[in-house]
Amino acid sequence: MAVMAEPVAAQVKRSSLWTRAFESRHFLGAMFMVPAIAILILFLAYPLALGFWLGMTDTKIGGAGRYIGFQNFVSLSKDSVFWLSVFNTIFYTVAASAVKFAIGLYLALLLNERLPMKSMIRAIVLLPFVVPTVLSAIAFWWIYDSQFSIISWVLIKAGLITRYIDFLGDPWNARWSVVAANIWRGVPFVAITLLAGLQTISPSLYEAANLDGATNLQRFRHITLPMLSPIIAVVMTFSVLMTFTDFQLIYTITRGGPINSTHLMATLSFQRAITGGNLGEGAAISNAMIPFLVAAILLSFFGLQRSRWQQGGRD
């Protein structure tokens, strides 16, 4: 690139400063970056910094706040609802991500078989991920209704239970219900991205293993899993990130209830900051999510994906 930029620069030596500036890739590069950088600084970097600051103030909606140091965090550390939301968030993330990974990998392996109408099946499988989460969550809300739940109706007709299940009225029922809805939404993403990874594994590896007499399980353990591990790491990082910061499903299905037992940190921060008007306290809860997020990213990125990144591969 540098080699060929020089003759061009020589050619325009006598033209005006302005024209010359437009031939310089550094200047031109900067100009090209302006729209993206302007939006990202004003609406991404600045709010991120403002969030740190707000977390240390007692700002309320409609009034300027003053600096109070770590007082928000001190009062949160004595707040049992906050700790409950931390527990819920971790439970929600761990339970949903583990099942999403298991079903997603299984579904990816199934879709990697020889199937009729494969591209159509793949398109259908991805639907839960495409449809607006809030709108599909409304369907789940109706499925979990205490009087008209179709699940309860089927189980009663099958003679397995005698009373309607109170899906959203009991803390643990509610937790598992929202986890199930999250799994429903997340499985397609995991499955389709892992399928893309599976399709890059060379069939000759499996043929060689077959000739050596490897069983199905051995082929999976010694070929599929190692070849897939880089993409598993990335997919699960995204999945954990999306689950940990989830807001839509909870807000639609339970609004954090019953008695705060499904509040995630994101929904609690919304409740405190926007509904309750305590912007400062809400921002402090948001900030408390950041260490968890960074830890999750580092763990899955560097813990799982040993192969490419750490051996000096290109990003």
Residues 75 to 134: which contact another protein by CB under 8 A? 103, 106-107, 110-115, 118-119, 121-134
| φ, ψ (nearest 5 deg) of residue 146 | -70, -30
Binding to another protein (CB under 8 A) within 146-165 occurs at 148, 150, 153
Rounded to the nearest whole angstrom, what is the least distance from the CB of residue 113 to another protein in the complex? Answer: 5
Residues in 265-304 that interact with another protein by CB under 8 A: 266, 269-270, 273-274, 279, 282-283, 286-287, 289-290, 293, 297
Opening angle at CA 307, ends 214 and 239, nearest 5: 95
User: Whose Cβ is closer to another protein: residue 75's or residue 210's?
Assistant: 210
Q: Does 252 bind another protein (CB under 8 A)?
A: yes
Give me the least distance between CB of 244 and another protein, in Å please. 8
Length of the chain: 315
193 interacts with another protein by CB under 8 A: yes
Answer for which of 173, 251, 257, 304 binds another protein (CB under 8 A) is 251
Count of residues in contact with another protein, rule CB under 8 A = 106
CB of residue 160 to another protein, shortest distance in Å: 16
Report, in Å, the least distance between residue 207 CB and another protein.
5
CA distance 150 to 144: 8
Which positions from 34 to 73 touch another protein by CB under 8 A, shown as an x/- string?
Answer: xxxx-xx-xxxxxxx-xx--x----x--------------
Q: Which residues of 275-287 are buried (b: 16+ CB within 10 A; e: fewer)?
A: eeebbbbbbbbbb
- Regarding 176 and contact with another protein (CB under 8 A), the answer is no
The least distance separating another protein from the CB of residue 247, rounded to whole angstroms, comes to 5
Binding test (CB under 8 A) with another protein, winner from 94, 242, 299, 304: 242
Residue 165 CB, nearest approach to another protein (Å): 15
